[in-house]
Amino acid sequence: MDTLDELIDKLATDSLLKALDPPQLEQLLRTARRKELARGEVIISQGDEESDFAVCLLAGGLKVSMNSAGGREIILNYCGPGEIVGEIAMLDRGPRTATVSAVGPSTVLLLPSQAFIDAVLSNPASVVGVMRELARRARQMNLIVESDRTFSMAPRLARAIVRLIDPDADDGRLRHNPSQSDLGAFAGLARENVSRLLSEWEEQSVIRRQGRALIVLNADYLQDLADFGDEG
C-alpha cells in the first residue's frame, strides 16, 4: 500500500481537494476506503439513492455517463488520476444523476460525505477553492449545452476530441482510447457519422490512425472548429 504522501502527490492540481491543506487532506484520505476496479466495473449507478460518498481516482480512468430514455448512452465526462467525481449527489444528497464506471483497471478512494465536509470546515480557506472548482464545472456544462444547441456534427466531435487529447503526451494521443461509439456518445452523434468524419479528417491530415487509436496532428484546426463551428 502506498503511503499517504504518494497519494497526495497524485491529486490533480485542479481537483476539488487541491484547496485543502496537507494535514486536512491526510485526515480525509485516511478515512477513505480504497478500492480496485476492473475494466467496465461500475462504482456509482445512476438513480442510486445512497449517495453519501464521492470518488477520488488514483490510477486508471473513469467514465461518467447517463443511460437515457431509448437506451442511448450519453458520456458526460472522462476523468484521469487525481480527479473527483460523484460530488453532486454527495453534496446535495439527491439520487445519483449519472453512472461512473472504469474504462480500464483503476484504483479509487471512496470519500465519505461527512469526512469531506469535516475537512472543508476544518480549513475555511479551502472553501474558496472548492467553490471555484464547482463553478468551473458549471462553466463547462454551459459550453456543452451551447455546443449541442448551435453546432453541427463536425464542431461537436472536434470539441469532444480536443477534450480528450492527452496533456501528458507530446504527440496528440488521446486519453482512455475511446472507440467510435464512445466518441459518438461523448459528442452526441451517431457512431456511423463519427466514422465518416474521422475518415474525412484523416484525408486532410488533421488526424492519423495508429491501429485503432487516434493521433491528433492538427489540434489547432479542431480547436477552431470547436470554438467557431463550420462557418468561422
Partner DNA sequence: CTTCATCTGTGATGCCCGTCACACTAGATT
Partner DNA sequence: AATCTAGTGTGACGGGCATCACAGATGAAG
Binding residues (CB under 7 A) for DNA: these are: 70, 72, 152-154, 179-181, 188-193, 195-196, 198-199, 209, 211-212
Choose between 48 and 227: whose C-beta lies nearer to DNA.
Answer: 227
Q: Considering the complex, what minimum distance in angstroms separates the CB of residue 89 from a copy of itself?
A: 8
- Residues 84 to 143 in contact with a copy of itself, rule: CB under 8 A: 87-94, 97-98, 117, 120-121, 124-125, 127-128, 130-132, 134-139, 141-143
The item of a copy of itself, DNA, none sharing an interface with residue 195, based on CB under 5 to 8 Å by kind, is DNA
d(CA 207, CA 109): 36
Residue 47 in the binding site for a copy of itself (CB under 8 A): no
Nearest to 156 by CA among 206, 217, 77, 228: 228
d(CA 81, CA 57): 5
Q: Collapse the DSSP code of 55 into the 3-class scheme (helix H, G, I; strand E, B; otherwise coil) and give the result.
A: strand
Neighbours of 126 (CB within 10 A): 20
d(CA 109, CA 33): 6
The item of DNA, a copy of itself, none sharing an interface with residue 212, based on CB under 5 to 8 Å by kind, is DNA
With CB under 8 A as the contact rule, the residue among 149, 167, 168, 211 that binds a copy of itself is 149
- Residues 207 to 226 in contact with a copy of itself, rule: CB under 8 A: none
Choose between 82 and 184: whose C-beta lies nearer to DNA.
Answer: 184
- Sequential DSSP letters for 164-190: HB-TT-SS-BBTT---HHHHHHHHTS-
Name the region of 185 (left: φ>0; alpha: ψ -120 to 50; beta: rest): alpha
Choose between 42 and 128: whose C-beta lies nearer to a copy of itself.
Answer: 128
Give me the phi and psi of 87, to 5 degrees please. Answer: -80, -20
Neighbours of 179 (CB within 10 A): 12
The item of DNA, a copy of itself, none sharing an interface with residue 229, based on CB under 5 to 8 Å by kind, is a copy of itself
The item of a copy of itself, DNA, none sharing an interface with residue 141, based on CB under 5 to 8 Å by kind, is a copy of itself
Contact, 116 vs 54, CB < 8 A? yes
Residue 1 in the binding site for a copy of itself (CB under 8 A): no
For 216, the grid coordinates are 491528433
Binding site for a copy of itself (CB under 8 A): 66, 68-70, 72, 74, 76, 87-94, 97-98, 117, 120-121, 124-125, 127-128, 130-132, 134-139, 141-146, 148-151, 188, 228-229, 231-232
